[in-house]
Structure formats: C-alpha cells, structure tokens
Chains A and B, each alone.
Chain A
C-alpha cells in the first residue's frame, strides 16, 4: 500500500483555528456595528473628489446641483435638505445612485468606475473656504 502523502491532504480546522477565525470575525463585526450605531455629527460641507483631486467643497446649507465630467459622461451631484447625493452616473452598477442622500460626517458616496467620490465633513475639518 503506498504511503499517504500527508503534506497534500489537509485536515479539517482544529479548535485553535476556529477560535482565531471566530475572533477575527467578531472583531470586524464589532467595528462595523460601532460604525453603524455610534451617533454621528451632521455634516456641513461635502468635498467632491475626481480621481484623487479635490474639485469642489460644497456647503450643505445651500441647495445646488452640478455635473462632474468623467471619461464616460457626467456624474450629477445634488445638495438638498442638508445632504448630498449622486443622482445620475454613466457607470454600469449605479451603486453610487442607489446610495441616496448622505447627511453625516464621515459618510461618503463613491463611484469607483468614474473616479468620483463625495465625502462629508464638518466645519472644523475645512481649511480656508472660498467666500
């Protein structure tokens, strides 16, 4: 009978491995839940970034609408009711459009295929604002 090649046939996870996997999952879950449930500050401004370059800093107190030109068309950004949203995009998934309006500090709307990101900040995080 040929000898078994134990280096090829792996075994089922041992208790130590299960413990590590569970610990990793629990830690990540704790971070996610804290991000979801912790109270957040209402944002004052939205930074619009195109391929890493900041284009605009929009005040959420003023309703506005703008078209961001991208390689495949235009991404439409709207500020309304103290929040910001992407209302149209030429991307295939439309994930950015389905995100809806964002209102709180740290939230963002990202359209990766078009390279557009809208990130919400508070007044204290803004340097010099153009009047």
Chain B
C-alpha cells in the first residue's frame, strides 16, 4: 500500500477527529440501548454508501445520491450533534476501509466531504430550528461537494474548478431527495419509537 502525503494528511485528520469525537461524547450519560441504536444507524450509513457505489452516476460522472446522509440526518435529529459527529467520523473511517481507499487521496476527499457536510448540517439545524431536513440535507450536500472539490483543487489545481458549479447543481437535487426520505422517516412513529427506546 502506497502512502503518499495526502494519505498521511488524511490519517492525521482522522485521528484528530476520532479523539475530538470521543472527547465530545458524555459516556457517563449514555444509555446502552441508545448506543446500540446509533450503531444500527452507522451500519445503515455504511451499507447505503456501499450500495450506491453499484448504482449508475447521477447526471455527472462520480456523482452519487448520498444515501448515507439519510442515516446521518436521522442521528442528528434524533440524538443530536455530538452523537452525530461520532457517527459521521466512524462512517467516513469505516467506509474508506471497506472501499480500500483509507490512506489515499480518495479517502481524504471522502473524509473532508463527510465532515464538512455534517458540521454544516449540525450548525444549520442549531441556528435555524424551523429548517426542515430537506433544507439541512441540501446544505449538507452542497458542503460535501465543496469539501471534496477543495481537496481536488489542492491536488490538481485550477483545472478541476470548471466542474464545481455543475456538481453543486446536481447536489441540490440529490440533497432534496435524501432530505425528503429523511423527513418521511423522522415522521414515522414506529421508527421513532424504535430509535428512542
């Protein structure tokens, strides 16, 4: 396995995020059932992320639906930003491991996109409480693409910037779809009874 500068940077960033995530968690107040439910949502995020890699590209090459974001939205709305942050980091780590791109530029792009999206969604959710999951999801999708584009720009230079507006355009559509799915799930009483035992 070749470890280049981007891989080392990604590994270092990952370590910092994991440490930050566990520092944020208040384990003395954790309910074992709640942690188990969060684990289920983490597994859901990983499976959705793997599944969509088998689906065709959405309008543009390399563009995905972002189905894993549905699980992150559920964690954010049901359990809060702290727990969601840890799930997002673990999703980025484990997802990269499953794809075999952990210590590479691809892994760094995935990590940056996921964290930029989640932090943005958490901030928007905290600051604009009346914003629905659709708006939060669209914001997250825009930040996800922008985070990945930032890494691609640092990697390849100005040549990649021409794709950015088109990726943003498609991400508004994909974010709306995933946000709608998350909203419907959050309004499902049976699911909410399961997630909040």
Q: Check B165 against A8 for contact (C-beta < 8 Å).
A: no
Q: Which of B78, B134, B168 contacts A8 (CB 8 A)?
A: B78
* Residues of chain B with a CB closer than 8 A to A14's CB: 130, 132
Q: Number of contacting residues on B, CB 8 A?
A: 36
Q: Which of B158, B169, B196 contacts A28 (CB 8 A)?
A: B169
Which of B135, B176, B192 has the most chain A CB within a 10 Å cutoff? B135
Contact A31:B130 (CB < 8 A) given known A10-B183, A108-B159, A110-B159? no
Q: Check B62 against A93 for contact (C-beta < 8 Å).
A: yes
Q: Check A95 against B61 for contact (C-beta < 8 Å).
A: yes
Q: Is the interface of A mostly helix, strand, loop or mixed?
A: mixed
Q: Check A32 against B166 for contact (C-beta < 8 Å).
A: yes
Q: Check B162 against A29 for contact (C-beta < 8 Å).
A: no
Q: How many A-B residue pairs have CB under 8 A?
A: 97
The 3 closest A-B pairs by CB, nearest first: A117-B159, A119-B159, A108-B159
List 28 A-B pairs, Cβ < 8 Å. A8-B77, A8-B196, A9-B187, A10-B183, A10-B186, A13-B135, A14-B132, A17-B130, A17-B134, A21-B134, A24-B172, A25-B169, A28-B172, A47-B159, A49-B159, A52-B154, A52-B155, A71-B2, A108-B159, A110-B159, A110-B160, A110-B163, A112-B156, A115-B105, A117-B156, A117-B160, A119-B158, A119-B159
